[in-house]
Each structure stands twice: as C-alpha cells, then as structure tokens.
Amino acid sequence: MSGGVDSSVAAALELDAGHEVTGCTMRLWGGASDTGCCSVADVDDARRVAQQLGIDHFVFNFGDDFDAAVVRPYVAAHAVGRTPNPCVECNRSVKFDRLLHRAQALGFDALATGHHARVAHLDGRWRLRRGIDQAKDQSYVLHMLGQRQLARVRFPVGELDKAEVRRRAAALGLRTAAKPDSQDVCFITSTAGRASFLGDRTPLTEGRVVDLDGVEVGRVPAVQLVTVGQRRGLGLAGGAEARYALAVDVASARVTVGQLDDLRTTEVGLAAMAWVDRPVAGPVLVQASAHGLARPATFDVEAALVRFAEPVIRVAPGQSVVLYRGDEVLGGGMATAAPRGGGPQ
C-alpha cells in the first residue's frame, strides 16, 4: 500500500474477494521527499486506509536495498550519460523481488498491488497484459516480471478504469479517494531538483555543445544532466531553428545536437533483456516510454535489435524499451547507444 488510491482500492477488492488481507508499505528513502510514494505522509495515508478497511498494516524498511538497487545505479547511469528509469529498477529489485520474498517468508500466498495491469493464466503459462484503462496502463514498468513473479502477484484494479477506482474509494469513504497520482521520481524533491540531487553525489562537468560538423554552438553546465532528445537548456543562441541533443559523450564533455530529422532513427539496440515467458522474435509493438505510443517493429533476438517499421524519435540510452503483441507484454530491455546507421554515437 503506497498511500495512493489505486493500492487502497486493490486492498479493498481483495477483501471483497474473500481473501485474508494484510497491508504493507515499504519505507525506501530516508532523505528528503515531497512526492511519489516515499514521503511520511504517504506512509501515514496507507496506515489510515488499512485502519479504515480493518486490516493489519506492516511497514518494511528496505532503505538499504533501495539505495543499492535504485539510487546508486541512478546516479551511476547519469555519470556516464545514460537516462535511467528508477521506477522500473524499483519494481525489478525491490517491490517484486525483496518484498515478494518477504511476503513468501511470512507465509502469504500472493502480493497484490495497485498497478493498472492484468495477469492471466493460459495454457499453463502466465501472461502479463495492459490494464483496461489505456490512459493509466502501467504494464510498461512491469515488463521484467517473469513466470515466477507472475504466479504470485495480483493486480486487482487492472480490470477497472481510473474513474471507477476513485468512485469505489469514495463509496468506501477512503481518505485517498481524491488524492492526486504520483508522477515524479520519489527521491528527488520538487524544490531541489535533479541537478542538486546528482551534484551532491557525483561530479558534474561543464561541456561543449557541437553540431554534426563538430563546430561548437553552445555550452551546458553539466553534460551528465542532458538527455538524448532534449531541446531546451542546451545553451544555444535564440532565434535559430530548433535543435535537439542527439548524443551525450561524458568522457569528452560533449553534446552533439542536430535538427529533428537527425534525431529520427529506425533502430534501437537493447541490453539486459527480460522476458515474461520465452524470447520472441519477429513482428512486435514497441513502447519506449511509460505513456508513449507502441510502434510497429520487428525484433532480432540474436542481435537484441529493434527495427521500427517507420522512423521514430531516438530512445535515450538507459530507457526501458518494452515489446508487446496486442495488449500482451512480451518482455523488454534497456536502450543502448545509437546502433549502426542510427546517427551519432
């Protein structure tokens, strides 16, 4: 129970289904937090909802796990010019690994969360599908779940749209019924921001901004903070045609920029592949951001390479790239640097 409306209703739905339910909240981040699911207020909301539902509530301190598996890799990725997805890593290493093991050790049969996704069991195999509410679907950040995890997880609100989730919460009088959704990285405050967080933990290097001919056209205060695809904050002269970050080279303190057409590519290489079931090759739909569109493509398993049917905006190295067939998640991986023919390295 994260302290949000989705996990609150998930707990209520599991009770309605006749299960014995215990609420649990992870305390992950000991530093400043004013958003996401790590603040003191969120833990308090989860505890009070558990009281309203009449269920026990545990708080598990997984701060060391969170620091090792999420925060430190987040900093390390930026230090070499990648753009990580900390929510994916939290799900991979903490929520559906550390917490799932804790639930099993305590004798619980399953772990239910408030994610908008669905689990199905067909032909003896577990399947992961998009949530019914396409606007709130969270299957992208769950693509790393395999057969072992899916056998022990439940997503009760995946069959409901968000309006219905809020309606049910209001009908039950839950304090989270009108609570806004969390959007930002939970361990970075809205006041200090990413630059301050990273600057306290890794050296930030001023860098040159160059065009495709290598001519310097601007400067940035920290190359580690630039993301492929970024348009603003590149130190470029005003009034010129819009240019975008095409590549970030921390070692040489250089950001290469170009026009929108230069940012397009038809390929993205993947690393650290995870499959829901077995590796899948051939025609797929590919989604490269949490709420982006799924684009037609083919996947080459041996080369770990996605080839899009039409040019797309380049995926920033470090971002998750997820493969689908229809509404079913097949698996996914982490975008690597631009492949051959895909633009500047």
The boundaries of every CATH 2.40.30.10 domain in the chain are 264-335
Predicted pLDDT at 37: 59
Confidence of residue 181 (pLDDT cuts 50, 70, 90): confident
Fold type of domain 264-335? Elongation Factor Tu (Ef-tu); domain 3 (2.40.30)
Predicted pLDDT at 235: 86
The boundaries of every CATH 3.40.50.620 domain in the chain are 5-114+155-171
Contacts of 324 (CB under 8 A, 6+ apart): 130, 284, 285, 286, 287, 294, 330
Nearest to 247 by CA among 338, 321, 339: 338
303-319 mean pLDDT: 97
The boundaries of every CATH 2.30.30.280 domain in the chain are 203-258
Write out the catalytic residue numbers: 90, 186
3-class secondary structure, 288? coil
With a cut of 60, say whether residue 340 has pLDDT above it: no
- Chain-centroid distance of CA 329 in Å reads 15
Q: What is the pTM of this model?
A: 0.92
34-54 mean pLDDT: 83
Confidence of residue 38 (pLDDT cuts 50, 70, 90): low
Q: Which of 24-38, 60-74, 124-138, 255-269 has the lowest mean pLDDT?
A: 24-38
Q: Which CATH superfamily is domain 5-114+155-171 in?
A: HUPs (3.40.50.620)
Average pLDDT, the chain: 93
Predicted pLDDT at 183: 67
pLDDT in tens, 220-234: 999 999 999 999 999
pLDDT in tens, 202-221: 999 999 999 999 999 999 99
Which CATH entry fits the domain spanning 203-258: 3.90.79.10, 1.20.140.10, 2.30.30.280, 2.60.120.10?
2.30.30.280
Cβ-contact 167, 3 below 8 angstroms: no
Confidence of residue 186 (pLDDT cuts 50, 70, 90): confident
247-255 mean pLDDT: 97
pLDDT in tens, 254-268: 999 999 999 999 999
Cβ-contact 247, 343 below 8 angstroms: yes
pLDDT in tens, 100-139: 999 999 999 999 999 999 999 999 999 999 999 999 999 9
With a cut of 90, say whether residue 341 has pLDDT above it: no
